[in-house]
Chain A
Amino acid sequence: MEKVALNHFALVDLSGNPVKLNECFHNYLLLIFLRHLA
């Protein structure tokens, strides 16, 4: 099964603070990647 290195991404919150995806978990995480905002 393919593994994802959850904390290796340079993600930031709306204030620009770094966020680790494993801080966002319940049992499962659904990630929705947007195309653009319009």
Chain B
Amino acid sequence: MPCQAHLGEVKATKDQFEARGVSIVVISFAEPQRLAHYEAQRQWPFVLLADPKRTAYDAFTLKRLSWLQVFSLTTLKLYWRLLREGKKREDYGKDDIYQSGGDFLIDRDGNLLFSHRSQDPADRPTAAKLLKIIDRIAGGASKPSFDTPSN
């Protein structure tokens, strides 16, 4: 559910990303058939791509989380809040719960301008933060922005 909450937040501000010339691509390590089933249910307005061999996950050094990270207090609090808001945990079959996720901003030349590797399932940059970083970069900031692990 935390990933779905993150996508929901980005979806709500999709127009603001588009106005800044930002395309959004969502990548999953699920097999394309499972991802197609998921998309049929969710109808996200993003390009969804499958990376079943995790070549991109590996290239962006998205590591496996520990049990303590997956079930951190922050994560449990987020799950509790989402459940209270009426969000449901959908079943799309057996999954690898230990794979970490992340958010990355790249320019057309392949320069990595921003990176955020999640340290637990609840650890995602807010859409507002992403937009602020994009504005800073578009405004001429020369240095890339790399989030440091919070733990």
Option from B32, B99, B101 in Cβ contact (under 8 Å) with A15? B32
Number of interface residues of A (CB under 8 A): 33
Residues in chain B near residue A30, CB distance under 8 A: 10, 17, 22-25, 103-105, 130
Does A25 lie within 8 Å of B97, measured CB to CB? no
- Residues of B93-112 whose CB lies within 8 A of A: 95-97, 99-112
Residues in chain A near residue B20, CB distance under 8 A: 27-28
> Cα distance A7–B101 when bound, in Å?
20
Number of interface residues of B (CB under 8 A): 68
Tell me if A's interface is mostly helix, strand, loop or mixed.
Answer: loop
Does A35 lie within 8 Å of B90, measured CB to CB? no
* Chain B residues engaging chain A, CB cutoff 8 angstroms: 1-3, 6-7, 10, 17-18, 20-30, 32-36, 38-39, 46-53, 55-57, 59-60, 62, 89-92, 95-97, 99-113, 118, 121, 130, 134, 137, 144
What are 18 inter-chain pairs, A to B, with CB distance below 8 A? A1-B144, A2-B144, A9-B51, A11-B56, A12-B32, A12-B51, A14-B35, A16-B50, A29-B23, A29-B106, A30-B22, A30-B103, A32-B26, A35-B99, A35-B100, A35-B121, A37-B35, A37-B92
